Structure 1
Amino acid sequence: MSHAHTVPTDRSSPLGRLARWLQARSFALTPEQIGIAEGVRAATAVALMVTLALYLDQPILSWAAFAAFWACLADPGGPFGVRLRAMGGFALIGTVMAGAISAVAALGHAWAAPALFAALFLCCLSRVYGPAATQVGVLACCVAVVAVGYPSAPLDALRLSGVFLAGSGWAVVLCLLVWRIHPYAPARRAVAAIYSELGDMAAELLALHSSGATQDARWKKHAAEHRRAVRDTIERARAAVARFSAGRGAGGDVRQALLAAIEAGERIFAGLIALGFDLEPHATGTPTDADTLPLRQLRAALTRTSREVQRSEPDRALVAYEAEVLDRVARPTLDLVGRVAQVCAQALHDLTQAWAPASEPEAAPSARLAEEAHRRRLTPARALRLALSPSSPIARHALRVALVVTATYTVTAYLDVAYAYWATMAAVVVMQPQAATTWPRTLERVVGSVTGGAGAAFLAVALPTPLWLLAAIFPLAAATIALRSVSYSLFVTFLTPLFVLVADLLHPDVTGGEGIALARAFNNTLGSIIGLAGCLILWPEREPKSFSQRLAAAVEANMRYATLVVRAGQTPYAEIDAARRAAGLASTAAEVTRQRMVLEGRRRRAHLDEAAALLETLRRLAGAATVAWLDERTDPGPPDARRIGYCEAATLRLGALVRGVPTPDSALAREGEPPDDIARAVTHVVQAAKDYARAMAANART
């Protein structure tokens, strides 16, 4: 019995639409990464330390609570060894950092500032060892900036180190030994999100097809938002899976299974791109149930696959059944909808085969040897030497952070700002190697701090007794950790009241909860702005490519993909698949940069409207090429040498034109009417590229 009607098919999820809207404006929202179990576990670690501090009347144990919280943030997920090195390393580094900086701070600001500078510089160099080490380094910086605000005598500093070690050690034991959550769950959620996004894309395709609208702005919006959202989701999943060691026991098996799911998602994505291109000019009238049955069944199959991917042992039979039903309903259909459905069914069938027990175990040793050879080539000492070279962007960023944060500490200490470490901590976490990625982080930090500060002030008034404050800390800690990979704004929104309530609970004589909340919001805003200014002033790391270069790269990548499709009979399918992915990545990179420039108010000067028109023609070219690719797979024909030659020449000339190199119109002219969709799409790309180049040339003359 078919499952074609078991899921809604006329719209995508509201949360998915919100995520795509934010992604189009350079703000990440990944709802698939909500980690409820991780949040409850971290809340348990923090709440126990706070309870002990309150019961024993020992405010210094607030350090144990913060150490436990930070240790949970240091957990990168993945294999046990990776997690142990990250969490254990943070516990040890934080223990030394807390006691040493606190003891030096007692000697006065003249000693504290240089010590803080050195600690920040060294911790920021951890970026050279990868994302997990980068997170540990940032958290160690947070420990340093808080410790410098707690000057202590040597014995008290030693006690502080012991408290920190107890809190962080407790979190390490809880996370790695006592309360074990499947380490690959975040990666599985990331891969499952691909199928959720594809399901939303199929649902909105069906809705647009049923609306009868042709050449409508809604089709353009659909193509722009969904293609970017799916491509971003696929690349996030690749990054999550890339942390697993290739060919090593269970981790290697999980990695291979998830990579197979990603590749199947890529093939389905290609089919939906082709379908969107083909349906737009033909969406007239109301389609019958028979017309829409393949799309409805595809949505059901994608929903089922998304659920199974998240399981540690996916049910191959259920996904195989969905693929079989999809193939069955597609066979009577002779149009592109049916062909796309069959391609998607085959992709799901191949996925179930990849989930079967491995039949070639001998491949693992070679992968393991390759990985070990890579590890031997880049030793920790050699990586550190590379990071410390004068031309290293990592060293420049470390120096930038150390200077800005130390200056912030000096000024706030001179002005005797209450809770000044919140300002220095904000500066640490918002500063990114590139200014273009720092300002969205700054905005999210400020919005989250102000919103969370308002919520904290309300809770401080509404929950007047310590018992109620303690009860509120648990859900706040759980929400903070659960949302850390979903949205930075949401993370800071819950982090702010958590820190405020802990401070109000354990230091009630300092100031009221409302005063702490106001100080938190103000200091975070101040530190975020200072951090942004530091990134813009001190050795600003510009994006490696200008916008025109990114746009030209997108033109060249999409033209190269179309060229390979035109010569499909002479090109392996794997090479075409790689070119399609490269075209999607290049178009997404150009669109992200364009949207950021729009938000910066540079629409007219950079002629971003003309750039948007060019990107739109590239999306249509990719759609036409994908339709042709599907036709080639089902009915291959002889390659046209003349068309191949024109596309190859146009690829280089269009890229040069967009970069500002004068190109005569005759170099891009072609004879006769464009014979098919690819040729017509190339014609539109040529015209849009000329319009953009003319606008940029006129701008240069004025």
Structure 2
Amino acid sequence: MQLFASGRDQLLRFWHHGRHQLPMADALRGGVICVAPAVLAVTLHMPLLCWSAIAAFWTCLADEPGRPGFERHCKGLVFGVAGALASACAIAAHSLPVLSIAVVGAVAYAGASVRARGPASGLRGLLTATACSVSACFPAHGIDAATRYAGFYLVGSVWATLAGGSLWQAGRTKRAQQATLAYLHAMSLLVNRLGYAAQGNRARLEQGRAELRTKLDAMTAAIANCCGDAPSACTRWVDDAEQAIALLAGLETLLAGGHDAARREAASLLAPGYVQLALQIDASAAHLRDGPGALPSVVEQRLARVQQTLRACEPAWLSTHGPGEGLTWLRANLDLLERLAVLLARDVRMHAARVVAAGARGAPPERPRPGRLTARIAELAARNAYARYAARLSVAAMLAVTFARLSGLQQGYWLALTTMFILQPTLSQTVKVSGLRIGGTLLGAVLATALSFPVHDPLLLALVVLPLATGTLAARAVSYFSYILFLTSHFILVAHLGTPAGAPWALAIARAELSVAGVLVGFVVSLFAWPDRERHRLGSSAARALEGTAAYLDAVARRLAQPVPRGGETLGKLRRRACLDIDTLEATIGATRFESLVVDQQVACASVLMQRLRTLVGALCPLEYVDAMLDDTERARLSGLAQRAHAWLTHDACSGDLLQHPREDSGPEASSCHAREIEREVSESACVAHLLRSRVLR
């Protein structure tokens, strides 16, 4: 019942606040572009136009609406030409099975190798390889057929490229607002998860701040693309983002460390405060969404409720308990919660000069452009993760096409289509995507069948593609499962219009069966073809996480010892790097556990090490913004503590008594309470990390 209530609350929250972040204008434009060839296919009785509809959809899928128009047109035309040539080569060599399968393998390897240039280029390369694999499964061969299929594919891609740049466009300001709303929605969800953790559901803490950092990068990039024209209501969230994330990290660390009975009881008093804080964030999102017509007093009212709820926590504790560790822990949480609530309710700043500066500060680092041809060839030939993934995808594509052609089914290309999309660089990622793919495919098949039963007119059935294509493009921002749900229904109806050899429900059943077969092919290839085991990366991932955390500890120690920064990387950048390294270590541990059939001591030690490193960063990062409230004695103690923790993370053995207990005096100041909690968390975590360091890095 609690799980059902939680799911219902999340759905309602998404409907009221999360749906506004969806790029509906871009999705609707893509839906219109995709449905036009399907309608023409029915009207002109030209089934091959459905292949143009697929090409148009893939072009819309690979498009980057936020980029300049000329760049989008160039990339779209290159993508269309590459897909047309790949499709033509596969069909032209169809009569020679060995040659056709070799062409598929070569195109798949080249398409997967492009992933090294970034996710957008990787998607275009994968879609081009998929077009080649699907074409190799078509019951067509010869130069004439290759020319016709390539021509229709190119027409669909060119149509999508030109129409995508000429039809209505969402302005840069609108994109910045949507990205900001997505960031606020992610923050609201994180605060809600912390509220559930305060109520005792500690499993919620496993969903950390990675998604929030991703939304922050997207928001920063969208605001930077506005070239100084972004609304100040959006830029102020970029200005305050690092401070908000630091305070949230401190709260998450405090909740994770509250294991004893006193802290658990104190945490239950904080749960209503988290609920009110999430509502305050939602009110800020509504204020941003409504613009000038919004009532700013709503945010202030929510802030007043948060502060009122937080002020009632300490008297409620003292009415049944006396001073002690529970009260100290409660005060530390209350301090961070109130600071976060005040930060999130600050008045909108109207200084336009800060827009460009904020975008320049927080913009994610751009991926370096590839070098000359010789350097590129050397990179592809090197034994790296991208080369292994490319080789694995090449083998999987050739096997999928072989099985699809041996089956003799007219819809056998779905087997190759599924294999191309579910195969990931690692086995654990392949299995995760495969499960989502199967579930989404089954529900999508049911949806397509339900839509096709009341609609018998082919033209009306083609028009049904519009909401499905729109939903597919919009659902990418929600989840992979919802994306596959719409995608399956979309492809089933388009395939039925292109090859009306049976009822849509029969196509749905065939799609489900062939999708399962494609998943099996991808799983077997991931398991046996140059398996990219995560356990081989465990030591290097742990070393990077230790190095990043140690660098951050050293910077914090220097900051506390000397308030004026000494140049170099800022604390925010060092914290971000440390958090990303720890997230990478966590992903490596999860994949290694999945790959191993027995419990491994190194993996268990790495898991504890990862949690302790996250605690170290989370405990100290609020000091980036609240250190001014500390007195000189506390600053000196915390600076020395950070220096000793840095030494314990960077040396196998060192001297010094790190496990000294924090002072026992119980001053009434919330800042003193927070400092004592930091000492406790850092002392314990640094000691445990030091003991596990040599075991993980062996």
TM-score range, shorter chain: 0.7 to 0.9
In structure 2, C-alpha distance between the alignment counterparts of 1:135 and 1:479, rounded to whole Å: 19
- The aligned residue for residue 580 of structure 2 is 585
Match of 2:214 among 232, 235, 240: 235
Are the counterparts in 2 of residues 408 and 423 from structure 1 also a CA contact under 8 Å? yes
Query: In structure 2, what residue type is equivalent to 1:109?
Result: P
For residues 427-460 of structure 1, the C-alpha deviation after alignment (integer angstroms, 9 at most, x for no partner) is 2222233334333222222222233234434545
How many positions carry a matched residue from both structures? 648
Q: 1:318 to 1:80 in 2, by over 3 A?
A: farther
TM-superposed deviation, 1:192: 2.7
| TM superposition shift of 1:622 | 4.3
CA distance in 2 between partners of 1:384 and 1:696 (Å): 34
Determine the C-alpha separation between the residues in 1 that align with 2:47 and 2:346: 58
Q: CA deviation at 1:267?
A: 0.9
User: How far 1:177 moved relative to its partner?
Assistant: 0.5
Residue 180 of structure 1: how far off its partner (Å): 1.9
1:313-328 mapped onto 2 (5 Å cutoff): 322=299
Give 1:583-662 correspondences, 5 Å limit: 583-598=578-593, 604-606=599-601, 617-618=612-613, 620-626=615-621, 631-638=626-633, 644=639, 647-654=642-649
Verify: 1:99 aligned to 2:88, yes or no. Answer: yes
SS in 1 for 2:48: helix
Distance change (3 Å), C-alpha of 1:649 and 1:177: same
Match of 2:281 in 1: 302
State the 1:552 CA deviation: 6.0
Contact 1:32 1:190 (C-alpha < 8 Å) held by counterparts: no
Q: In structure 1, which of residues 451, 475, 496 is the aligned counterpart of residue 488 of structure 2?
A: 496
Within 2, Cα distance between the matches of 1:597 and 1:367?
Answer: 33
- The equivalent position to 2:519 in structure 1, one of 524, 528, 531, is 528
Distance 1:682 1:366 in 2: 29
Closer/same/farther in 2, CA of residues 364 and 473 from structure 1, 3 Å limit: closer
**What is the Cα deviation at residue 326 of structure 1?**
5.0
Q: What are structure 1's unaligned runs of at least 5 residues?
A: 1-10, 21-29, 212-216, 658-662
- In the aligned structure 2, how far is the partner of 1:192 from the partner of 1:497? 29
Within the alignment, does 1:274 sit opposite 2:289 as a pair? no
Residues 694 and 64 (structure 1), Cα distance of their counterparts in 2 relative to 1, 3 Å cut: closer
Aligned partner letter, 2:570: E
Residue of structure 1 equivalent to 2:183: 194
**Aligned position for 1:42:** 30
How far off is 1:406 after superposition?
1.8
Measured in 1, the distance between the counterparts of 2:343 and 2:266 equals: 31
CA distance in 1, matches of 2:73, 2:498: 31
AA at the equivalent of 2:37:
M
Q: Which residue number in structure 1 is paired with residue 75 of structure 2? A: 86
Distance 2:401 2:179 in 1: 39
CA contact (8 A) 1:98 1:143 kept: yes
CA–CA distance in structure 2, aligned partners of residues 270 and 396 of structure 1 = 37
2:48 to 55, 60, 64: 60
Residues 72-109 of structure 1: CA deviation (Å, up to 9, x unaligned): 1121221234422332322222233333432332x432
2:440 corresponds to: 448
User: In 1, Cα distance between the equivalents of 2:360 and 2:541?
Assistant: 39
The whole-number CA distance in structure 2 between the counterparts of 1:16 and 1:485 is 16
Does 71-80 or 407-416 show the bigger shift? 407-416
SS for the counterpart of 1:356 is: coil
CA RMSD after TM alignment: 4.7
Contact 1:192 1:305 in 2 (8 A): no
1:405 corresponds to: 397
**Contact 2:250 2:621 (8 Å CA) reproduced:** yes
Contact between 2:180 and 2:237, CA under 8 Å: does it hold in 1? yes
SS in 2 for 1:406: helix
- 1:483 deviation in Å? 1.0
Deviations 1:19-56 (A, max 9, x none): 99xxxxxxxxx977643333322222222222211122
For structure 2, the residue ranges without an aligned partner over 5 or more in a row are 315-330, 664-675
Q: Give the aligned partner of residue 114 of structure 2.
A: 126
CA distance in 1, matches of 2:679, 2:658: 10
473-482 vs 675-684, which deviates more?
675-684
Match of 1:72 among 47, 52, 60: 60
Q: Does 1:477 align with 2:477?
A: no
- Return the alpha-carbon distance in structure 2 between the equivalents of residues 673 and 340 of structure 1: 23
Letter aligned with residue 233 of structure 1: L
Structure 2 Cα separation of the partners of residues 595 and 500 of structure 1: 35
Q: Which residue of 1 aligns with 2:317?
A: none
Residue in structure 2 matching 1:170, options 152, 155, 159: 159
For the Cα contact (< 8 Å) 1:457–1:517, is it kept in 2? yes
Q: Read off the aligned partner of 1:94 and give its amino acid letter.
A: G
TM-score by length of 1: 0.76
C-alpha separation in 2, matches of 1:278 and 1:398: 43
Match runs of 1:143-162 below 5 Å: 143-150=131-138, 151-162=140-151
- Give the distance between the partners of 2:80 and 2:360, measured in 1 at CA: 34
- Could you tell me which residue of structure 1 aligns to residue 685 of structure 2? 685
Fraction of identical pairs, as percent: 23
Per the TM alignment, residue 623 of structure 1 is displaced from its structure 2 partner at its CA by 4.8
Give the TM-score normalised by the residue count of structure 2: 0.76
Change (3 A) 1:538 1:351: farther
**Separation (CA, whole Å) in 2 of partners of 1:316 and 1:636:** 44
Q: Relative to 1, partners in 2 of residues 1:301 and 1:417: Cα closer, same or farther, differing over 3 Å?
A: same
1:552-571 alignment, distance < 5 Å: 554=545, 557-558=548-549, 561=552, 564-565=555-556, 567=558, 568-570=560-562
List per-residue Cα deviations over 1:642-686 (Å, max 9, x = no partner): 7655643444545667xxxxx6xx857547533332332234325
Paired amino acid for 2:393: V
Output one character per residue of 1:119-154: Cα deviation in whole Å (capped at 9) or x when no partner: 333333332433222211111112212222332443
**For residues 402 and 294 of structure 1, do their structure 2 counterparts lie closer, same or farther at Cα, with a shift above 3 Å needed?**
closer
Task: Write the distance in 1 (CA, Å) between the matches of 2:545 and 2:188.
Answer: 26
Q: Distance in 1 between matches of 2:56 and 2:346?
A: 44
How far 1:695 sits from its partner (Å)?
Answer: 9.3
Distance in 2, Cα, partners of 1:487 & 1:61: 30
- State the AA in 2 paired with 1:234: R
Letter in 1 for 2:57: F
1:356 to 351, 359, 364: 351
Per-residue deviation, 1:464: 4.5
Q: Quick one: distance in 2 between partners of 1:278 and 1:531?
A: 42
